[in-house]
Structure 1
Amino acid sequence: MNLYSNLTDQELIRLYISGNNPAFTTLVHRHKSRIFTTIVLLVRDRNLAEDIFQEVFIKIVNALQSGHYVDNSRFLAWAVRIAHNACISHFRKAHTWPQVVVSYNDELGDSMELSEHSQEQRMIKAEITEEINVMLDRLPDQQREALILRYYADLSYKEIAHTVGISINTALGRVRYALMNLRKQAGVESLVSA
């Protein structure tokens, strides 16, 4: 068991700033899956997401070491905001937004794949993942982004508003309309496949 696993994010950050590198390793392991999944869902390319993920953690390290992190008990929201901004910067430089959805399995999904699932169960899981990716891809970009930040990055509406630069009501509306659009799509899909 990790010596630091029971510490809060803020305690780990204070230890890291004082020179304790294993504390930062614990912090990274605690949040890497959620941050990486958010990046993958925003950029829709696993290789690009890996590059951006590394860039994000370099920015996090630099910000922590230079004292730019404000201890507000929401390290994850702060880190996701950095990840979101890195994704936006990438697409601004490239003058394009992604068109292809690349399926992604996080650590939980990877460990499930290693367990003794039948071939049928693996095929069903792959089909569901593909259907969700297609449905997400059909959403307007702003709704898709808000939905990813809310349910994959686990940000509050206030944090979404701050990250994207919109009002809380706009963030709430985007997530609400995204969910409504997903429900409509799911209803249409079930009628088509029947």
Structure 2
Amino acid sequence: MNKEIRSDNDQLLLRSFIGGDESAITTLIERHRKKVYNYILMLVKDPQTADDLFQETFIKVISSLRAGRYSENGKFISWVLRIAHNQVIDHFRGGKKPAHITSDDAGYDLLNNKKLADPNIEEEMIHDQIEQDVRNLIDHLPVEQREVVVLRHYFDLSFKEIAQQTGVSINTALGRMRYALINLRKLIDEKQIAFA
């Protein structure tokens, strides 16, 4: 039910932003920043590139919203992650770079927004290192287990949605998650990693 409330709030914030309330987009970016950034970082494995692609993603999101190219037929975060995915694909293609859009073009300055600044860099570095360690462990899982973990924890999909996305039963999706957690615990023990 919380996910539904958040999804409804996303739609209300989107309508507010489209209606001229600039602060609504800041709230949306703050709400989904970590998930979108981590998704990009998981794919590109370079913080500098992830920062650039994150900014390009939200500049494209804002431009698309202003141009009326968003329809409320799904979750806002799913739409943003598709844009992020396309930005990553464009990045890896190299030659086919997206048209560079500046913050001025989008009418929103992502870089100089104090609300998006992190207050404590040391805590952020520790948090980032733990996330990197977890992502490295996830990379050692079998493909089916890795897919379920990524869809559940990075895309925030329910097990029903994961089952539909992967073409398996809910019980199979749950089983894959169970085995993924067992394997992650074994990897943590083997590599003697402490998350404290």
TM-score norm. by structure 2 comes to 0.61
Match of 2:113 in 1: none
Distance in 2, matches of 1:32 and 1:21, equals: 17
Q: Are 2:67 and 1:46 equivalent residues in the alignment?
A: no
- Tell me which amino acid in the other structure corresponds to 2:183: K
Confirm or deny: 8 A CA contact 1:149 1:160 kept in the other structure.
Answer: yes
Match of 2:14 in 1: 13
Distance in 2, matches of 1:171 and 1:54, equals: 35
Match of 1:180 in 2: 179
Where do 5+ consecutive residues of structure 2 fail to align?
A: 1-7, 96-116
**Displacement of 1:183 after TM fit?**
2.1
Match of 1:134 in 2: 136
Higher RCO structure, 1 or 2 (CA under 8 Å, sep 6+): 1
Match of 2:168 in 1: 169
Q: Assess, with a 3 A threshold, how the Cα gap between structure 1 residues 64 and 34 changes in structure 2: closer, same or farther.
A: same
Match of 1:26 in 2: 27
Q: Assess, with a 3 A threshold, how the Cα gap between structure 1 residues 111 and 73 changes in structure 2: closer, same or farther.
A: farther
Match of 1:113 in 2: 123
Distance in 2, matches of 1:126 and 1:58, equals: 24
Confirm or deny: 8 A CA contact 2:138 2:184 kept in the other structure.
Answer: no
Aligned to 1:8, the other structure's residue is in SS state: helix
Q: Assess, with a 3 A threshold, how the Cα gap between structure 1 residues 23 and 132 changes in structure 2: closer, same or farther.
A: closer
Distance in 2, matches of 1:126 and 1:32, equals: 14
Confirm or deny: 8 A CA contact 2:149 2:180 kept in the other structure.
Answer: no
Aligned to 1:76, the other structure's residue is in SS state: helix
Q: Assess, with a 3 A threshold, how the Cα gap between structure 1 residues 130 and 176 changes in structure 2: closer, same or farther.
A: same
Distance in 2, matches of 1:23 and 1:84, equals: 23
**What per-residue deviation string (whole Å, max 9, x for no partner) do you get for residues 143-177 of structure 1?**
54552232123134676689xxx544399967854
**What per-residue deviation string (whole Å, max 9, x for no partner) do you get for residues 13-63 of structure 1?**
112112221121121112112211221122221111101101111221122
Question: What aligned pairs does 1:31-180 form with structure 2 within 5 A after superposition?
Answer: 31-72=32-73, 74-93=75-94, 113=123, 131-139=133-141, 144=146, 146-156=148-158, 167-169=166-168, 177=176, 180=179
Match of 1:99 in 2: none
- Tell me which amino acid in the other structure corresponds to 1:134: N
CA RMSD of aligned residues (A): 3.9
Distance in 1, matches of 2:88 and 2:171, equals: 22
Distance in 2, matches of 1:126 and 1:45, equals: 12
- Tell me which amino acid in the other structure corresponds to 1:154: D
Q: Assess, with a 3 A threshold, how the Cα gap between structure 1 residues 23 and 127 changes in structure 2: closer, same or farther.
A: closer
**Displacement of 1:91 after TM fit?**
2.6
The number of equivalent residue pairs is 163
Confirm or deny: 8 A CA contact 1:150 1:160 kept in the other structure.
Answer: yes
Aligned to 2:72, the other structure's residue is in SS state: coil
Distance in 1, matches of 2:81 and 2:26, equals: 17
Where do 5+ consecutive residues of structure 1 fail to align?
A: 1-6, 95-106, 115-121
Q: Assess, with a 3 A threshold, how the Cα gap between structure 1 residues 185 and 150 changes in structure 2: closer, same or farther.
A: closer
